[in-house]
Copies of this chain bind each other. A is one copy, B any other.
Amino acid sequence: MAADVTRDNLEESNGGEEQVITPWEVSAKDGGRIDYDKLILQFGCQKLEESLVKRVERLTGKPAHPFLRRGVFFAHREFDKILDNYEKGQKFYLYTGRGPSSESLHLGHLVPFLFTKYLQDAFKVPLVIQLTDDEKCMWKNITVEESRRLARENAKDIIACGFDVSRTFIFCDFDYVGGNFYQNMIRIAKCVTLNQVRGIFGFTGEDHIGKVSFPAVQAAPSFPTSFPHLFGDSKDVHCLIPCAIDQDPYFRMTRDVAPRIGFHKPALIESLFFPALQGESGKMSASDPNSAIYVTDSPKDIKNKINKYAFSGGGATIEEHRKHGANLEVDVPVKYLSFFLESDEELAKIKEEYGAGRMLTGEVKLRLIDVLGKMVDRHQKARAAVTDEMVDAFMAVRPLPQMFS
């Protein structure tokens, strides 16, 4: 559905049927790899250059997150302007979110949250997290009740990422939409025609009217007055949105609308997709449990999934591997380590040794099993410690005790 229109856009910019990236579909050309450089051109965002990463380190006085150093967050829209303003003492807030479609998150879901937590800690700024239970209720055809329950379950996983309750407001649309937020939804909706959302998102006449107007719901948190308990009626606070690049269409629309209703355009910092175990042709899929490592997986699950499903770029035989080395461009274990191995040195060493054929796939997988096992164990312990009272505290509509300090 969404594909047709995105394909049209691609034809315009690339002259052929190629990769399709929308909030609901990610598919690379011929099942191959996603060409992110091309995606930057298609979407019209900017590449996140090394110089910006250095600037972040200088401004925050902290080493950049591995996701920044290693290009996981690889694209942006006016992130440089956010830093300009920050340097001048002007404030911003972070906005990210999740559509609570499944009981438990996979590692790909954690990426924006882990990165957002780093940004929050480094810049000491407030954060709003939108759980679009309304969206999932509409797209996945689950009941309102089930969608709200999933949102609360997902909130626990998000809180387990270590967010600071004194700087973080988490909300579900079904609970929070109303008042100033609803007023901003209407202000936004007034600026976006049916033809425009058909062009951006590919809606058709068979889609229901809730879907058609949902983009205004996802846009509204980009504007500070949607949160009067945080920002009063101030329109001057800028917004920075960390997200995977498939969400870019929503915020392209939002940025187009913003100046027409007196708001700053939200800035974006956008990540690659976390690849499926089977390879990089798409995102992990909640519908195929063997395509992803879940935060609820046991050590045995993790070991089995990686050994059985993680696509290897190694040689077909040991002899071949020793001779030609591994193809790191397609090797999933190396990609996963690039996301989650802490030490830059060890990562470089593994890539070198494995790429040269001196290290075997089995050895790399063993290291990955260890890294993910520890990470998932840490998450499970943190998640088990999240009480309903803590969820209530994060979701309370309240002024935040700490804002910009």
Contacts and interface: CB of A to CB of B under 8 A. Distances in A.
Interface of A: 134, 137-138, 141, 144, 173-179, 182-183, 185-187, 189-195, 197-198, 203-210, 212-213, 215-216
A178 B175 CA distance: 7
Contacts of A192: 208-209
18 contacts: A134-B182, A141-B190, A144-B186, A173-B182, A174-B179, A174-B183, A175-B179, A177-B177, A185-B210, A192-B208, A194-B209, A194-B212, A195-B206, A209-B212, A209-B213, A209-B216, A212-B213, A213-B213
A60 to B, nearest CB: 37
Nearest to A195: B205
**DSSP majority for the A interface?**
helix
Contacts of A204: 194
Contacts of A210: 185-186, 189-190, 213, 216
Given A187-B144, A198-B205, A212-B213, A182 B178 contact: yes
Interface centre among A189, A192, A206, A216 (most CB of B within 10 A): A189
Given A141-B190, A194-B204, 12 more contacts: A138-B189, A174-B183, A177-B178, A192-B208, A192-B209, A193-B205, A193-B209, A194-B194, A194-B209, A195-B205, A197-B209, A213-B213
B187 A208 contact: no
What are the 9 tightest A-B residue pairs by CB atom distance, in nearest-first order?
Answer: A178-B178, A189-B210, A213-B213, A195-B205, A209-B213, A144-B183, A194-B205, A177-B182, A189-B209
Contacts of A144: 183, 186-187
Nearest to A194: B205
A389 B224 CA distance: 31
Interface centre among A144, A178, A194, A212 (most CB of B within 10 A): A194
A138 to B, nearest CB: 6
A177 B137 CA distance: 18
A296 to B, nearest CB: 28
A389 to B, nearest CB: 21
A279 B198 CA distance: 43
Interface centre among A173, A189, A208, A212 (most CB of B within 10 A): A208
B193 A138 contact: no
A193 B212 CA distance: 9
B186 A194 contact: no
A23 B213 CA distance: 21
Nearest to A213: B213
Contacts of A208: 189-194
A285 B177 CA distance: 34
B194 A207 contact: yes
A111 to B, nearest CB: 28
Given A175-B179, A212-B213, A206 B186 contact: no
A196 to B, nearest CB: 8
A68 B183 CA distance: 39
Contacts of A189: 138, 208-210, 213
B186 A138 contact: yes
Nearest to A138: B190
Contacts of A134: 182, 186
Contacts of A178: 176-179, 182
Nearest to A210: B189
B194 A206 contact: yes
Nearest to A135: B186
Nearest to A207: B194
A211 to B, nearest CB: 8
Contacts of A183: 144, 174
Interface centre among A183, A192, A205 (most CB of B within 10 A): A183
A386 to B, nearest CB: 24
A92 to B, nearest CB: 25
